[in-house]
Structure 1
Amino acid sequence: MTVRFFHTSDWHLGQFFYNHSRQYEHEQFLAWLLTQIQEKQPHALLIAGDIFDVINPASAAQKQLYQFLADAHSLAPHMQTLMIAGNHDSGYRIEQVEPLLAKYNAKTVGVIHKNADGQLDLDRLLTPIYDAQQQIIAWCLTLPFLRPAEITGINEHTDSSQNAIAYLHQQLILEAKKRKTANQALILMSHAHMQGGETSDSERPIIIGNEEALSTALFDEVIDYVALGHLHKPQKVQHAHIRYSGSPIPLSFSEIHYKHQVLDIQLDPSLQHENRLLIEALPIPRTVQLHKIKGELADVLSQLKALPNGKIDSIDRREYVDIEYHTLTPPPPNLRQQFEEALPQERYRLVRISRQYLASEKNGGADDAVHLEPPTPEKLFQQIWRKQGYTADDDVLQDFMSLVQDAQKSLESESNT
Structure 2
Amino acid sequence: MAVHFLHTSDWHLGQLFYNYSRHYEHEQFLAWLLKQIKQKQPHALLIAGDIFDVINPSSQAQKQLYQFLADAHALAPHMQTLMIAGNHDSGYRIEQVEPLLEKFNTKAVGIIHWNADKTLNTERLILPIYDASEKIVAWCVALPFLRPAEITGFNEHTSDNQSAIEYVHQSLIAEAQRRKTPEQALIVMSHAHMQGGEESDSERRIVIGNQEALPTDLFTDAIDYVALGHLHKPQKVQHAHIRYSGSPIPLSFSEINYQHQVIEAWIHPTLNEQRFRYEVLAIPRSIQLHRISGELEQVMQQLKALPQGEINDSEQREYVDVEYHSTTPPPLDLRQQIELALPANRYRLLRICRKHTSQHADDAQHSKIDLAPPTPEQLFSTLWDKMGFEHDDVVEHDFLTLLHDAEQLQQQQKTGL
Range class of TM-score, shorter chain: 0.7 to 0.9
Measure how far apart 1:210 and its partner are: 7.6
| Pairs within 5 Å for 1:249-268 | 249-268=249-268
CA 32–364 in structure 1, closer or farther in 2 if over 3 Å, else same: farther
Matching residue of 2:45? 45
CA 28–331 in structure 1, closer or farther in 2 if over 3 Å, else same: same
Can you list the C-alpha shifts for 1:240-279, whole angstroms capped at 9, x where unaligned? 000000000000001010000000001111111x511121
Matching residue of 1:403? none
Can you list the C-alpha shifts for 1:211-247, whole angstroms capped at 9, x where unaligned? 3410000001100000000000000000000000000
Matching residue of 1:335? 334
Matching residue of 2:218? 218
Measure how far apart 1:118 and its partner are: 2.2
Matching residue of 1:402? none
CA 364–188 in structure 1, closer or farther in 2 if over 3 Å, else same: farther
Give the whole-Å Cα distance in 1 for the aligned partners of 2:191 and 2:385.
24
Matching residue of 1:319? 318
Give the whole-Å Cα distance in 2 for the aligned partners of 1:186 and 1:356.
50
CA 364–45 in structure 1, closer or farther in 2 if over 3 Å, else same: farther
Give the whole-Å Cα distance in 1 for the aligned partners of 2:34 and 2:241.
25
Matching residue of 1:395? none
Matching residue of 2:354? 355
Matching residue of 1:12? 12
Matching residue of 2:116? 116
Give the counterpart letter for 1:204 in structure 2.
Answer: R
Give the whole-Å Cα distance in 2 for the aligned partners of 1:380 and 1:42.
48
Secondary structure at the residue paired with 2:343? coil
Give the whole-Å Cα distance in 1 for the aligned partners of 2:386 and 2:346.
32
Stretches of structure 1 lacking an aligned partner (at least 5 in a row): 367-377, 384-417
Give the whole-Å Cα distance in 1 for the aligned partners of 2:67 and 2:358.
52
Matching residue of 1:142? 142
Matching residue of 1:406? none
Stretches of structure 2 lacking an aligned partner (at least 5 in a row): 368-383, 390-417
| TM-score of the two chains, using structure 2 as the length reference | 0.87
Residue 131 (1) aligns with residue 131 (2): yes
| Pairs within 5 Å for 1:21-36 | 21-36=21-36
Give the counterpart letter for 1:342 in structure 2.
Answer: A
Can you list the C-alpha shifts for 1:143-202, whole angstroms capped at 9, x where unaligned? 000000000011111111111001100000110011000000000000000000000001
CA 131–227 in structure 1, closer or farther in 2 if over 3 Å, else same: same
Give the counterpart letter for 1:2 in structure 2.
Answer: A
Matching residue of 1:291? 290
Matching residue of 1:306? 305
Give the whole-Å Cα distance in 1 for the aligned partners of 2:387 and 2:161.
25
CA 260–364 in structure 1, closer or farther in 2 if over 3 Å, else same: farther
CA contact 1:358–1:364 (8 Å) conserved in 2:
no
| Pairs within 5 Å for 1:181-196 | 181-196=181-196
> Is the deviation greater in 138-147 or in 148-157?
148-157
Can you list the C-alpha shifts for 1:252-307, whole angstroms capped at 9, x where unaligned? 001010000000001111111x5111210000010000000010000000000000
Give the whole-Å Cα distance in 1 for the aligned partners of 2:124 and 2:87.
20
Query: Which runs of 4 or more aligned residues in structure 1 lie more than 2 Å from their structure 2 counterparts after TM superposition?
Result: 206-212, 359-366, 378-383
| TM-score of the two chains, using structure 1 as the length reference | 0.87
Secondary structure at the residue paired with 2:129? strand
CA 160–379 in structure 1, closer or farther in 2 if over 3 Å, else same: farther
- Aligned residues with identical type, % of pairs: 70
Secondary structure at the residue paired with 1:275? coil
Structure with higher Rg: it is: 2
Residue 281 (1) aligns with residue 280 (2): yes
